[in-house]
């Protein structure tokens, strides 16, 4: 078999194992408009607000650390939950769509989901009741129900949360597979996880993600899910149910109302999906180098006076 046939087979092998997301090669949402946003909103609980705003002028939040090409610099998706009496456990999910009002973005194989989140908290008023809320991340979902702690329906996919203030005590960052808690991390002593200080600086109780941009990355590769907050890996777990739709969200896991609701919200920006190259792509480089070496060897041996010198 000559080099050209080998390369053709390698190309076919690589194409057959590439990730699929409908008909796209990369997906992004910059949240410049709620009407045209490529997300579907689902929720449970009550008195939740979802809107798009210029967070720099509205809330004096600086520009997010990352960007989506063509997106506005400081517009984002704002989610506020459990805003009025009677308080109730509440959650809002924004699930990725291929196009505005289109079908869901269904991912398979290896991929990376990323977004930036800013969770606001009025530190000057701490401690106060009802401050513990949390941002949500998720992949591999397949239904139209919102995920969240205390959801009235079964949670699906691989998902978890990061609390704004460490108020859970024992589950301030979590990794769930459907309704099963695979790992729960504690932010406060005793037995606090070191990742909080690595990601957010300082020590407990100030090693928390309030009032700062937190880049979130979920990397799926060969049935292993790695979850990063601010560049620090908090989780690395095996999961076989990662095919499906990614989402981001915000929840209040407790029924108590925030004492300062006008200062408590989450802003999301730069929701993005990228594909992790398959290991098989390395075969192309191996065969290409081998073919070049073979061709050069043949060319050298075909030079006059070299016949039989091999």
Q: What are the structural domain ranges in the chain?
A: 1-17+279-310, 25-277
Is the C-alpha dihedral spanning 259, 207, 182, 248 positive or negative?
Answer: positive
Q: What is the CATH number of domain 25-277?
A: 2.60.120.560
**What tens digit of pLDDT does each residue of 101-124 get?**
999 999 999 999 999 999 999 887
Q: What is the C-alpha separation between 86 and 40, in angstroms, rounded?
A: 26
Average pLDDT, the chain: 86
pLDDT in tens, 174-201: 999 999 999 999 998 888 999 999 999 9
pLDDT under 50: residue ranges of the chain: 6-7, 10-24, 281, 283-289, 292-294, 299-301, 306-310
What global pTM score does this model have?
Answer: 0.83
For residue 131, the model assigns a pLDDT of 87
């Amino acid at each position: 078999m000559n080099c050209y046939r080998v390369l053709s087979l390698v190309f076919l092998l690589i194409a057959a194992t590439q990730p699929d997301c409908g008909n796209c090669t990369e997906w992004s949402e910059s949240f410049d408009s709620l009407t045209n946003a490529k997300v579907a909103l689902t929720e449970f609980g009550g008195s939740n607000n979802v809107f798009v705003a210029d967070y720099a002028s509205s809330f004096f939040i600086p520009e997010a650390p990352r960007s989506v090409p063509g997106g506005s610099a400081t517009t984002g998706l704002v989610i506020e939950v459990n805003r009025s009496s009677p308080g109730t456990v509440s959650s809002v999910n924004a699930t990725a769509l291929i196009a505005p009002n289109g079908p869901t973005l269904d991912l398979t194989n290896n991929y990376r989901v990323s977004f930036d989140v800013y969770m606001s908290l009025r530190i000057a008023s701490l401690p106060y009741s009802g401050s513990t809320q949390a941002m949500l991340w998720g992949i591999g979902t397949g239904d139209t129900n919102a995920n969240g702690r205390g959801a009235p329906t079964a949670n699906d996919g691989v998902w978890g949360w990061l609390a704004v203030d460490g108020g859970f005590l024992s589950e301030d960052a979590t990794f769930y597979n459907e309704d099963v808690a695979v790992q729960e991390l504690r932010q406060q002593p005793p037995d606090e996880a070191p990742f909080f200080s690595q990601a957010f600086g300082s020590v407990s109780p100030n090693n928390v993600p309030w009032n700062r941009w937190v880049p979130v990355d979920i990397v799926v590769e060969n049935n292993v899910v790695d979850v990063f907050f601010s560049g620090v890996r908090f989780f690395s777990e095996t999961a076989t149910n990662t095919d499906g739709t990614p989402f981001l969200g915000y929840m209040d896991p407790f029924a108590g109302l925030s004492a300062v609701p006008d200062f408590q919200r989450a802003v999301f920006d730069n929701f993005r999906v990228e594909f992790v190259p398959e290991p098989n792509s390395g075969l192309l480089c191996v065969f290409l180098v081998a073919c070049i070496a073979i061709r050069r060897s043949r060319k050298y041996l075909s030079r006059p006076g070299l016949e039989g010198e091999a």
